[in-house]
A and B are shown apart, each in its own frame.
Chain A
Amino acid sequence: MKSSYFKTFTVLTLVSACLLFVQGCKPKTAQSAAAGDASKSFVAPGKYDEFYNIVSGGFNGQINVYGLPSGRLFRIVPVFSQNPESGYGFSEETKPMLNTSHGSVPWDDLHHIALSQTKGEHDGRWAFANGNNTPRLARVDLTTFRTAEILEIPNSAGNHASPFITENSEYIVAATRFSVPLDDQNGDVPINTYKKNFKGSVSFVSINPTSGEMNIAFQIRTPGVNFDLSRAGKGKSHGWFFFSCYNSEKANTLLEVNASQKDKDFVMAVNWKKAEEYLKAGKAKKQAVKYAHNVYDEKTHTSTSTMNTEVMVLDPADCPGMLYLIPCPKSPHGTDVDPTGEYIVASGKLAASIPVFSFTKLQDAIAKKAFDGEYDGIPVIKYDAALHGVVVKPGLGPLHTEFDGKGNAYTSMFVSSEIVKWNIADLKVLDRVPTYYSIGHLCVPGGPTAKPHGKYVIAYNKITKDRYLPTGPELTQSAQLYDISGEKMKLILDFPTTGEPHYAEAIPASMIKDKQKRIFKIEENSHPYVSKGEGQAKVERNGNQVHVWMTAIRSHLTPDNIEGVKMGDDVYFHITNLEQDWDVPHGFAIKGANNAEVLVMPGETQTLKWKADRTGIFPFYCTDFCSALHQEMQGYLRVSPVGSNVALHFSTGTNKPAVTTAQELPANDSSATASPK
């Protein structure tokens, strides 16, 4: 045996030496080149990333926050989905956030991110996101990375062309993917009456410049097409919005075939400054609708849901000059505006070319009435009159375009799985790189703004296949990071993402990092059930509701012995975290909880509702490892039968007088005595 080991190891030694020799000295191959580029994505331990990457989570209803260029995942922000990790959507305080006119909808399909802008540039205040399924918009506060507000959108179904933003965050938009009968009409109609009964709708949602609060300023009623994506004009085209639409055929079945009949669909141009004028002039009609508006208050640590009942609607028939349609080949998907605001890039996803429209030519065409008839009463611009030119044979299946601020555009090609770099002015293709596989959206930091930060482009892919270690039928999603600082794009990192990323934005870390909220000031906590100090911890009964004012600090919960709860009681644990130091959350979990745990940040109060479903002893504990004595951070709750005369009692650190056997007899035994408080 020994000799065979010796032989084996001699051979291994030689082999390894040779291998290393060969690898160390061979000229640069594709592999070593890739390793060299990878150093560009290396962020040393203890160093920070250069960008935050705010990435939509798609069907997980969340926003995922990564660092660039490392691709490290920092945070998953629950937006439209309940999150058992923090209790978002489960705690009494956050349940109203997910309220809609349909009741609680604790999930949605989050597709697109829009970061707030001032003068066409990122300002690092808020991230907006759309809920695609049950039409909603959300605002995430970038000082807390928490969902601060959710607004439902009426007259809509499939809020896909959303939440694209204007250059001073005046508006974000919400355009319906599905046209549907309007909310105030009888929707019980045969589906094949689509052409007669189904309407499209575009909402302009105003953003309060100070608080960020969203409100539906007005809606525009449109023909019953499908809206896909959108961008606001900027610079010279500020005041306009562009929406891609498909299904101008108005098909209601087998859209795969029936919505691809016409050679051209449209990019709809909206003059929203004009719309504002019509609104002011009283041209809008009030429509009865029902939609929820949910706001989280950081002082009370509680959200409220308000049901709104009307919306102002502008009909293009009453508002000439507000809408124009630009013909665009083959079911356009992305419609993207370059940093100067002059060029509008519309990607016909079924086409093998990319038409680029000119805002100046569009204005000329409107002035000269270079129209090609009307579509449902809306003027159709002559295709050539608005066209700047076409990128010829860029690849197959163009979807989305981002910009680097140096006159280049980067378009994702779904079918041919690549990113194609081209020059906006002369429309020449400059470079192409493969993606792995079937890229959807892409992101250049600051790409949709007037001043892109450039440096990188990230591919968010739809297919993962063999890219990482396999995990059964369901795989993580794949993203690639490319360096675009040189003439050629270079792959420098391949990283997995969660959910299914659609659109993402990236913003310099320096714009966000130093304004992060570290704690909630306990002095400012105005939660109705706050315990400001352990002296305020208590338990009170109100009918069959028991309210527990509980405090958490390293490393005990107060009270930690609770008796006198009866079978069937609803117990509300209002936990206040008394810590005032960064990164010291406490958690709370109790056996048999039907909802979740809660995670309570320093200075915050959160409430977990719990039902006493049987008699006995129920342990509770802190779920967030907080100190060396975290494992000691626990307590007990006793549940007695309904008729029991065990009195309500709570304590920490003191025991009741020694129990007698009599006290342990069944509650209906008259000799049982109430516990002293």
Chain B
Amino acid sequence: MKRKSLLAVLLLISGGLFFGACNSEQKPADEKAGETQEAAKDQAEVHGTEIKPGDVELTTPLNQQWVTTGKGIYELKCQACHKLTAERLVGPGWQGVTQRREPHWVMNMITNVDMMLEKDPEAQKLLEQCLVRMPNQNLSKDESRQVLEFMRSNDGTK
């Protein structure tokens, strides 16, 4: 068997040498391969605008209109996977989330989930636990702020 595989390698090398030595069209093909890799990068996923620490201002008392709108969005787009208790369903329960996470982290997780799962160690840890990528539910920045307000209300902020 050893000899066989050795010979196979020889065969490939010798063939390759001859091929490489004579075929001038080999070079462009190699360049193509390089181009291909770049091309794959060209079309990386497009992320939304990242929300930076300090971009989000939390005020009390809560904006009750946002709480109500946020609750509506929760029922339409979030409830299927997140409970309002601490119990994990598909994703973690929301109880205490506003104590555990920074506001910009929560909003990025909603509006920029692909970026978070690519970069953020905490988000990656959650994916390991839950094994389902959090869906991008197409919320605007304002909508994610309203959901955050509802989360704060759920956590007892007045």
Residues of chain A at the chain B interface (Cβ within 8 Å):
2, 5-6, 9-10, 12-13, 16-18, 20-21, 23-25, 36, 39, 42, 44-47, 519, 521-523, 532-535, 551, 553-556, 558, 578-581, 584, 627-629, 653
Q: Is B85 an interface residue (CB 8 A)?
A: no
Contact indicator A580/B77 (Cβ below 8 Å): yes
A20 vs B18: C-alpha distance when bound (angstroms): 7
Query: Given known contacts A2-B3, A580-B135, A653-B89, what 15 new A-B pairs fall within 8 Å (CB)?
Result: A9-B11, A13-B7, A13-B14, A17-B18, A25-B22, A39-B28, A44-B36, A46-B41, A46-B42, A522-B76, A533-B76, A553-B81, A578-B77, A579-B137, A580-B137
Q: Is B99 an interface residue (CB 8 A)?
A: no
A193 vs B26: C-alpha distance when bound (angstroms): 71
| B interface size (C-beta, 8 A) | 40
**What chain B residues lie within 8 Å of A551 (beta carbons)?**
80
Within the complex, the shortest CB–CB distance from B102 to chain A, in Å, comes to 24
**What chain B residues lie within 8 Å of A521 (beta carbons)?**
138
Q: Which residues in chain B, 1-39, are within 8 Å of chain A measured between CB atoms? A: 3-4, 7-8, 10-11, 14-15, 17-19, 21-23, 25, 28, 32, 35-36, 39
A532 vs B75: C-alpha distance when bound (angstroms): 8
Contact indicator B39/A533 (Cβ below 8 Å): no
Contact indicator A553/B135 (Cβ below 8 Å): yes
Ordered nearest first, which 9 A-B pairs have the shortest CB separation?
Answer: A24-B22, A580-B138, A9-B7, A24-B23, A46-B40, A25-B22, A581-B136, A46-B39, A533-B75
19 pairs, CB–CB < 8 Å, chain A vs chain B: A9-B8, A13-B15, A16-B14, A24-B22, A25-B23, A39-B28, A46-B39, A46-B41, A47-B39, A47-B42, A523-B76, A532-B76, A553-B81, A553-B90, A555-B132, A578-B80, A580-B138, A627-B133, A629-B90
Q: Which residue of B lies closest to A534 (CB)?
A: B80
Within the complex, the shortest CB–CB distance from B73 to chain A, in Å, comes to 9
Within the complex, the shortest CB–CB distance from A39 to chain B, in Å, comes to 8
A534 vs B77: C-alpha distance when bound (angstroms): 8
A579 vs B39: C-alpha distance when bound (angstroms): 29
Contact indicator A44/B79 (Cβ below 8 Å): no
Most buried by A among B10, B35, B133, B135: B135
Q: Which residue of A lies closest to B87 (CB)?
A: A653
Contact indicator A6/B39 (Cβ below 8 Å): no
Q: Is B86 an interface residue (CB 8 A)?
A: no
Q: Which residues in chain B, 48-87, are within 8 Å of chain A measured between CB atoms? A: 75-77, 79-81
A650 vs B79: C-alpha distance when bound (angstroms): 17
A337 vs B132: C-alpha distance when bound (angstroms): 56
Contact indicator A5/B42 (Cβ below 8 Å): no
A21 vs B135: C-alpha distance when bound (angstroms): 54
**Could you say which of A47, A519, A554 contacts B90, with CB atoms under 8 Å apart?**
A554
Q: Which residue of B lies closest to A10 (CB)?
A: B7
Contact indicator A17/B14 (Cβ below 8 Å): yes
Contact indicator A533/B8 (Cβ below 8 Å): no
A16 vs B13: C-alpha distance when bound (angstroms): 11
**What chain B residues lie within 8 Å of A39 (beta carbons)?**
28
**What chain A residues lie within 8 Å of B41 (beta carbons)?**
46
Contact indicator B35/A44 (Cβ below 8 Å): yes
Contact indicator A629/B131 (Cβ below 8 Å): yes
Contact indicator A535/B75 (Cβ below 8 Å): yes
A17 vs B41: C-alpha distance when bound (angstroms): 37
Contact indicator B22/A21 (Cβ below 8 Å): yes
A44 vs B81: C-alpha distance when bound (angstroms): 39
Q: Which residue of A lies closest to B33 (CB)?
A: A44
**What chain A residues lie within 8 Å of B4 (beta carbons)?**
5, 9
**What chain B residues lie within 8 Å of A9 (beta carbons)?**
4, 7-8, 10-11
Contact indicator B18/A553 (Cβ below 8 Å): no
**What chain B residues lie within 8 Å of A21 (beta carbons)?**
18-19, 22
Contact (A17, B137) CB under 8 Å given A9-B4, A578-B80: no
Q: Which residue of A lies closest to B76 (CB)?
A: A533
Contact indicator B80/A558 (Cβ below 8 Å): yes
Contact indicator B135/A46 (Cβ below 8 Å): no
Contact indicator B39/A45 (Cβ below 8 Å): yes
Q: Which residue of A lies closest to B139 (CB)?
A: A580
Within the complex, the shortest CB–CB distance from A653 to chain B, in Å, comes to 7
**What chain A residues lie within 8 Å of B17 (beta carbons)?**
17
Q: Which residue of B lies closest to A580 (CB)?
A: B138
**What chain B residues lie within 8 Å of A16 (beta carbons)?**
11, 14-15
**What chain B residues lie within 8 Å of A46 (beta carbons)?**
36, 39-43
A629 vs B127: C-alpha distance when bound (angstroms): 12
**What chain B residues lie within 8 Å of A519 (beta carbons)?**
138
**What chain B residues lie within 8 Å of A13 (beta carbons)?**
7, 10-11, 14-15
**What chain A residues lie within 8 Å of B90 (beta carbons)?**
553-556, 629
**What chain A residues lie within 8 Å of B19 (beta carbons)?**
20-21, 23-24
Contact indicator A522/B77 (Cβ below 8 Å): yes
Within the complex, the shortest CB–CB distance from A293 to chain B, in Å, comes to 34
Contact indicator A627/B132 (Cβ below 8 Å): yes
Within the complex, the shortest CB–CB distance from A523 to chain B, in Å, comes to 7
**What chain A residues lie within 8 Å of B39 (beta carbons)?**
44-47
Contact (A17, B15) CB under 8 Å given A44-B35, A46-B39: yes
A2 vs B133: C-alpha distance when bound (angstroms): 54
**What chain B residues lie within 8 Å of A6 (beta carbons)?**
3, 7
Contact indicator A581/B135 (Cβ below 8 Å): yes
A380 vs B115: C-alpha distance when bound (angstroms): 71
**What chain A residues lie within 8 Å of B137 (beta carbons)?**
579-581
Q: Which residues in chain B, 98-119, are within 8 Å of chain A measured between CB atoms? A: none
**What chain A residues lie within 8 Å of B138 (beta carbons)?**
519, 521, 580-581
Contact (A629, B132) CB under 8 Å given A17-B14, A24-B19: yes
**What chain A residues lie within 8 Å of B32 (beta carbons)?**
42, 44
Q: Which residue of A lies closest to B74 (CB)?
A: A533
**What chain B residues lie within 8 Å of A581 (beta carbons)?**
135-138
**What chain A residues lie within 8 Å of B40 (beta carbons)?**
45-46
**What chain A residues lie within 8 Å of B7 (beta carbons)?**
5-6, 9-10, 13
Most buried by B among A16, A555, A653: A16
A523 vs B139: C-alpha distance when bound (angstroms): 11
